[in-house]
Structure 1
């Protein structure tokens, strides 16, 4: 048992086996259909999410864990004498970070540290794994936070969204944009910039064309990549993810190119068959 207990939230999209192996605590966000709240990844999985959206024709609402949720999650480890380091979903996207800060104030100074990833999905997960590995090398919480501050702005997050339907249902594009985009087979590409989801560009044509562009963008940046860990993260796009994994592994020679599944919160904003490539730029 390490002196530091790492926490993330359910939007980090790390593979379950990794969460167990590295003893990472997960605080779930909430997904709400009507009057029913579901804990992301605990009470609801993406296939069930999509089924409910198809049945109702509406997207769920999503909500941050409460300060009480964080206090309940952190307390047992503080009682064991461990320090807690929580790496959160971007403060620009959710009140998750702020609620964790509120919770941290209920403990003695230095017992709980809250770090804003300014990212989402495995853009958070990459930072969590940097922290886990630094702790294994004997680094302190202060040293790990300094490392994360250096890494945070170097995380590259780029997703291809397969359909405009979920952006439309979520109020992020108009009915006319959805109709025209569907007719022209336009697929938006989303990046994370300064903690916010921003449209990077659009690909018109087949899904294969969009994936080729995503892959080409990543390959063009190989010289600046930290090739320790690269993620392919997706929502119900297993075959495409495996294919991207094979190509990136061959092209980059990375220590590991891992595939992970997007959880319900990420999926509810982007929709099925969304797929992304996430990595950090080298600090050297």
Structure 2
């Protein structure tokens, strides 16, 4: 096998890659109330959204073990890649790196690299997409790593949340502020910056105004868009995701677009109506 990608379940695998031996999802564990769910891609998004809404406590997550990554690395592939959620948000990257070191202990000459996406969801999907394209073109391993890490240094993750209950439940937003935001329909607009740290950059009253403002920030913050890959993921709001895509494309041309539904972990944090954009 030419290559193997082991991506944690914070990212979403494109439909064309599912079931192929080159791709493996390393699941995180979701804890919603008293229930533990292995985030292996089998849970229905709408069922998960209902479980989150019905739980009085905030959903929690646990990262994969190094052994879980090692099992997927150890497959005889010429090139091995790990892809994880931002190291600022989870211990998944650290587990993937420990597994990389275990792999190199066993195979000292192996070609293996772990990408800290400094993002989540479609941000990871995009890395897998680029790996696949360059492997198909016969690009050398070292050049693939260098190219994607350079892209990773420049890209930004934008998102807006329609439902603030997760922020209230995990204590990042007080009950009073959450109530006020709900009554006034205030929606935060945030970025995952170049270090993978989440920052609020704006807010708006109403979901549509928030999406318009987010598009403004995306267009104003993107240089040379015709060279860029645009990624969009959504939590149970396909029509709004298409609206965001079309609004961006009316104002700038991009190289390619990936549009995905959020998987388990990203659904937990984006919640119903959340939109994530990476460029």
TM superposition score normalised by structure 2: 0.88
SS across alignment from 1:105: helix
- Structure 2 CA distance for aligned equivalents of residues 83 and 35 of structure 1: 40
SS across alignment from 2:199: strand
Contact 2:3 2:22 in 1 (8 A): no
- Structure 2 CA distance for aligned equivalents of residues 25 and 182 of structure 1: 39
- Structure 1 CA distance for aligned equivalents of residues 226 and 84 of structure 2: 22
Shift of 1:168: 0.4
SS across alignment from 2:273: coil
Residue 91 (structure 1) aligned with residue 90 (structure 2): no
Paired position in structure 2 for 1:25: 24
- Structure 2 CA distance for aligned equivalents of residues 221 and 34 of structure 1: 39
Shift of 1:223: 4.5
Paired position in structure 2 for 1:55: 54
- Structure 1 CA distance for aligned equivalents of residues 129 and 42 of structure 2: 25
Shift of 1:272: 0.7
Paired position in structure 2 for 1:282: none
Q: Which moved more, 1:229-238 or 1:218-227?
A: 218-227
**How has the CA–CA distance of structure 1 residues 21 and 222 changed in structure 2, closer, same or farther, with 3 Å as cutoff?**
farther
Residue 148 (structure 1) aligned with residue 148 (structure 2): yes
Pairing 1:129-168 to 2, within 5 Å after superposition: 129-168=129-168
Shift of 1:41: 4.3
User: What RMSD in Å do the two structures reach over aligned CA positions?
Assistant: 2.2
Contact 2:84 2:115 in 1 (8 A): yes
- Structure 2 CA distance for aligned equivalents of residues 211 and 83 of structure 1: 39
**How has the CA–CA distance of structure 1 residues 65 and 248 changed in structure 2, closer, same or farther, with 3 Å as cutoff?**
same
Pairing 1:246-261 to 2, within 5 Å after superposition: 246-261=246-261
**How has the CA–CA distance of structure 1 residues 55 and 215 changed in structure 2, closer, same or farther, with 3 Å as cutoff?**
same
- Structure 2 CA distance for aligned equivalents of residues 275 and 202 of structure 1: 14
Paired position in structure 2 for 1:197: 198
TM superposition score normalised by structure 1: 0.87
Shift of 1:185: 1.4
Q: Which runs of 5+ in 2 are unaligned?
A: none
- Structure 2 CA distance for aligned equivalents of residues 35 and 163 of structure 1: 22
Paired position in structure 1 for 2:99: 103
Q: Which runs of 5+ in 1 are unaligned?
A: 280-284
**How has the CA–CA distance of structure 1 residues 131 and 15 changed in structure 2, closer, same or farther, with 3 Å as cutoff?**
closer
Pairing 1:201-240 to 2, within 5 Å after superposition: 201-203=202-204, 205-221=205-221, 223-240=223-240
